[in-house]
Amino acid sequence: MLTILFIKNSEVIITMCGIIGYIGTKNAVSLVLSGLKKLEYRGYDSAGIATISNKLVVKKDVGKIDEVFSKIDVSNIKSNIAIGHTRWATHGKVTKENAHPHTDCKNEIAIVHNGIIENFKELKEELIKKGHVFKSETDSEVIAHLIEEEMKNKDFVNAFFECLKKLKGSYAIVAIYEKEKKMVAARKESPLVVGVANHGFFISSDVPSFIDETKKVIYLYDGDVVVINNGLKIYNNGVEVKREIDSVEWDAEQAKKGVFKHFMLKEITEQANVIKKAIAQDDDIIKEIVDSMKNAEGIYFVGCGTAYHACLEGSYIFSKVAKLHVNVCYAHEFPNYVHFLTPKSLVIAISQSGETADTLTAIRAAKEKGAKVISIVNVAGSTLVRESHKVLLQHAGPEICVLSTKSYTSQLAILVLLAYAFVDKLDEAKSKLKELIRYIYYLTSKNTQDYIKKLAEILKDSKDIYILGRGLQYPTALEAALKIKEVSYIHAEGFAGGELKHGNIALIEKGTPCIVFTSKDTESDIISNAQELKSRGAYVIGIGPKNNDVFDFFIKVREAEEANSICQIIPIQILAYQLAILRGLDPDKPRNLAKSVTVK
């Protein structure tokens, strides 16, 4: 039961793509093209659209969306039905042929797909034996040919249903057929949401693609199949079902860059407001989760990437504030530990998107053992929300940049609230966080950005950057390294200060940049580590409340005790952004990455 508390090559690459479809009374091509641009953070190696204008028309090519549609003029195509796709390769090289949409042999059926069809090779071999000719290397193309094969004795909709029965793997699929002004779609372990407008229906990977047109959404469940023509019907296991129409709490402006050149910088500067929203969480929800933690026999925090760093930070916070031991595990490794789980175990999953495949696998493994699952997640209606027993929504608003910034600090703030609530000091936690808000405004100000840009100019040609922290600052060091390497492509490595002497110091030579996080609790030991680095010729950057002679460059960040990492990560987020800009890179769309990893 779910309780929502609030409310390049042919190798496999673990990423995702963006899908959008529209059917209604407006110009579908322009709406789909506009939606694709808002989904480009989900994949940007190729793009395309398919529409029906007397006959099926498919336009696609390699490149980012603006590049593709500068080569392909679609402005003269008028239609009230269209589907679009922006791709990041999973199967098949980055070529025009492998770009979506894909069609059948007769070029009458077009599909777009996100996910992985695990049995596509077997299906493809069977279809080739039956005379089908394939144009691409992708797993996705088999879907179009399967529908075509089933239509030999079924109509379009029923052929789509039969096609789904033969697919193994994960998918979000949208399909159209030249001879019927009808759109069909399905989801299994891959995100898909319906937008309900007064002029028609959207179906998409994510809400920002259509938020300019409507805030009314239907969050689809796993196994849902959607049929849209003059109206909308949803089926699950062959039976028609009803899904509620929800309203998105944020508006279109929040999903736009506004005055900012990049979403990354916009989202960094939004963090003061994000902390405000974290503080505004319902006390009863916080207390319900705390009660679940108190009644549990074994608590596990699971997440991936930045969310894992929030989990690790949370374990330190709970140890210090609540004197509570919490186990921490990468979500993709968690199934190896389920042998310890019992019905009294509690798993707390942390995720921005709520669609991370590894995290979903972890919580499903936990539920099989009878464990209770609570999730801290930013996206309402996501799979993680629906599959958890209880949910705490972050309310951080849309995060469009591939790199996680504001959602990370939101997660940390919520963990601080939970830890203090565990010892009946929730008001004290809120007071501490409120004190930070004005300071976070300062940390994200233009003056701070300009100051950190000076450091970025020093580091922009670095080959390696090493980052040290102790205690609460150790997870901060890991997250700092991740931010730098994700967006600047400089190799960065974070490690615990105490590990310096156990091998890592061999990496230090004259001029090696080393960032050191300090706090009142760790000052003596971490400064000793900094001196060890300096004596080997390192260029030492200090981040913390007090400057020291050992630092070659210093960024002052006030002491915030258990909330130190909320403040200390912000200068690194800005540094990572500035490094990307100085190195001529797009901070919103780093290579080889996409916003949410929805396949394993």
| Catalytic, out of 60, 182, 483, 595 | 595
Residue 534 in contact with residue 540, Cβ under 8 Å?
yes
Within 270-382, residue ranges assigned H as helices are 271-279, 283-295, 306-317, 357-368
| Catalytic, out of 17, 163, 304, 401 | 17
74: tokens are 């679609």
Residue 469 in contact with residue 564, Cβ under 8 Å?
no
| Amino acid at site 103 | T
To the query of whether residue 17 is one of the catalytic residues in this protein, the response is yes
| Amino acid at site 151 | M
Identify which of 215, 256, 220, 247 has the alpha carbon closest to the alpha carbon of residue 236. Answer: 220
- Whole-angstrom CA distances from 107 to 40, 69, 141, 267 are 26, 21, 12, 42
Identify which of 363, 86, 120, 95 has the alpha carbon closest to the alpha carbon of residue 205. Answer: 86
Identify which of 358, 350, 353 has the alpha carbon closest to the alpha carbon of residue 300. Answer: 350
Residue 102 in contact with residue 138, Cβ under 8 Å?
yes
Q: The dihedral of CA 481, 482, 484, 489: what is its sign?
A: positive
Alpha-carbon distance of 377 to 410, in angstroms, equals: 10
Alpha-carbon distance of 567 to 121, in angstroms, equals: 50
> Does a cis peptide bond (omega within 30 degrees of 0) precede residue 101?
yes
Alpha-carbon distance of 369 to 373, in angstroms, equals: 11
Alpha-carbon distance of 303 to 408, in angstroms, equals: 12
592: tokens are 């080889």
Residue given tokens 């779910």 in the structure block = 2
To the query of whether residue 600 is one of the catalytic residues in this protein, the response is no
- What 8-state DSSP symbol labels residue 595? S
| Amino acid at site 405 | T
Alpha-carbon distance of 518 to 471, in angstroms, equals: 10
253: tokens are 């402006």
Cα 312 vs. chain centroid, distance in angstroms?
18
Identify which of 596, 598, 94, 83 has the alpha carbon closest to the alpha carbon of residue 378. Answer: 596
Tell me how far apart the 2 most distant CA atoms of the chain are, in Å: 80
Active site residues: 17, 595
